[in-house]
Amino acid sequence: MGLFTTSDFDFSLPSELIAQHPAAERSGSRLLDGSGELPEDRVFRDLPALLRPGDLLVFNDTQVVKARLYGKKPSGGKLELLIERVLDGHEVAAHMKVSKKPPPGTVLRMAGGFTAELLGRWPDAAGPLFRLRLSDDPHALMAAHGHVPLPPYITHADTAEDASRYQTVFARNPGAVAAPTAALHFDEALLAALAARGVQRAAVTLHVGAGTFQPVKTESLAEHVMHRERYHVPEATQAAIADCRARGGRVVAVGTTSVRTLESWAASGEASGDTAIFITPGFGFQVVDALVTNFHLPRSTLMMLVSAFAGHARVMALYRHAVAARYRFFSYGDAMWLVRAVQTDAG
């Protein structure tokens, strides 16, 4: 990890390539096949042709919640909450955007007629998030009064389109504040085509946090403090992976969140928990053989993850191709198909 610096994962991206809206059809996005010697431009609905009968696709079935809430301080100053995690007893851990942070004990008046009492920091006194107690069930309040927590690089206010399309077709476990974006490309017709191809499916859960969008601010990777996210690998998925291995199939992660979940489980032996796994070049992958992923932000931990997976030089060359070929980037953008490098480069 010491041989790479954060600058090695930077690249120049014209702002007009940052997708502000999804493709007209989920599976109509473009797909950059990065598995061969030369990049190949495809359409996402071509994915079954890249998979083999007996392969196992592992999806993240987290559900994005309407975690962005607006309100006011007693002084009348406006504020915004982004609920990162629901705790016990109507308590939540949240990011707060406000001109001046109010002291603990302040009761915030939220749009929708409910209140949020500021209790302190989370997970401890020096924690990065705020702990608040809402006046009713947090999930019910978010569903009734919340907004889709679109990423910071999407410039429009959330709409009905976002409520539908910033969510996968198989989302079922509420708790994410960001979508597992590689899975946004799958629709029912594509899932049927994959099944007909003999490709198996399994699910894990990782509740994606807002930290996924944060660039690494230290030049040394070793100095970066990774954000934490909750994950779960069901017993049925563990069995499906064992069966896939036994028949000689490949474990194909749909998205970096599935990679983080599977490799956290393999490294810790724990099927459920919090993970702060930081995957950088030189990482020894134990589970994932191939990856479907979107294009990620410069200098981000996800750029480091895909570089660890497919090789730094290859990934940076693929990104240069994607920019030159006018692929659409980030959450509503296009996707890439990668296979694990036989030996990931460490410098």
Q: How far apart are CA 210 and CA 105, in angstroms?
A: 25
Domain at 282, CATH number: 3.40.1780.10
d(C-alpha 251, C-alpha 270), whole Å: 19
Looking at the fold, whether 110 and 34 belong to one and the same domain comes out as: no
How far does Cα 137 stand from its chain's mean position? 26
Last residue of a domain, one of 145, 172, 190: 145
Residue 345 lies in a domain: no
pLDDT > 50? residue 347: no
pTM reported for the whole predicted model: 0.95
Alpha carbons 187 and 173: distance in angstroms, whole number: 18
CA atoms of 103 and 118, how far apart (whole Å): 7
Residues 81, 115 within the same domain: yes
**In the predicted model, what is the mean pLDDT of the chain?**
95
What integer pLDDT is reported at residue 308 of this predicted model?
97
329 and 236 together in one domain: yes
Indicate whether 151 belongs to any domain.
Answer: no
Tens digits of residue pLDDT in 220-253: 999 999 989 999 999 999 999 999 999 999 999 9
Whether residue 250 is found in the same domain as residue 327: yes
Please report whether residue 153 resides in a domain. Answer: no
pLDDT tens, position by position, 99-115: 999 999 999 999 999 99
At residue 343, does pLDDT exceed 80? no
Domain that holds residue 229: 6-64+161-339
Helix (H) or strand (E) holding 254: strand 251-254
Residue at 150 is within a domain: no
In this predicted structure, what is the pLDDT of residue 325? 98
Same domain, 58 and 199: yes
Residue 177 lies in a domain: yes
| 138 and 175 part of one domain | no
> Is 104 within the bounds of a domain?
yes
pLDDT, tens digit, 9 for 90 and up, residues 44-91 = 999 999 999 999 999 999 999 999 999 999 999 999 999 999 999 999
Phi/psi at 278 (5° precision): -120, 105
**Model confidence band, residue 3 (pLDDT cutoffs 50, 70, 90):** confident
Mean pLDDT of 119-137: 94
* Percent over 90 (pLDDT), the chain: 93
Of 117, 145, 173, which residue is a domain's last? 145
Q: N- to C-terminal Cα distance for the chain? A: 8
Whether residue 309 is found in the same domain as residue 197: yes
Question: Tokens 């399994």 correspond to what residue?
Answer: 202
Which domain CATH number covers 80? 2.40.10
Please determine, for residue 2, whether its predicted confidence score (pLDDT) is greater than 80.
Answer: no
| 118 pLDDT more than 80 | yes
Name residue, tokens 């406006």.
78
Structural domain tally of the chain? 2
Q: Is residue 125 included in any domain, yes or no?
A: yes
In a domain, 156, yes or no: no
- Whether 251 and 117 share a structural domain: no
DSSP category for residue 106: P
What are 241's two structure tokens?
């992976």
pLDDT at 1 over 50: no
pLDDT, tens digit, 9 for 90 and up, residues 278-301: 999 999 999 999 999 999 999 999
CA atoms within 13 A on the CB side of 280: 22
- Same domain, residue pair 209 and 135: no
Do 197 and 316 reside in the same domain of the chain? yes
Q: Which tops the pLDDT comparison, 213 or 152?
A: 152
> Which tokens in the block code for residue 196?
């007909």
Nearest CA to 113 out of 70, 65, 159, 157 is that of 70
Regarding whether 124 and 98 lie in a shared domain, the answer is yes
State the DSSP code for 50: H
Distance CA 166, CA 140 (A): 19
* Percent of the chain scoring above 70 in pLDDT: 98
Locate 113 and state its tokens. 């007629």
Looking at the structure, tell me whether residues 221 and 276 fall in a common domain.
yes
Q: Is the pLDDT of residue 346 over 60?
A: no
- Consecutive H or E run containing 176: strand 173-176
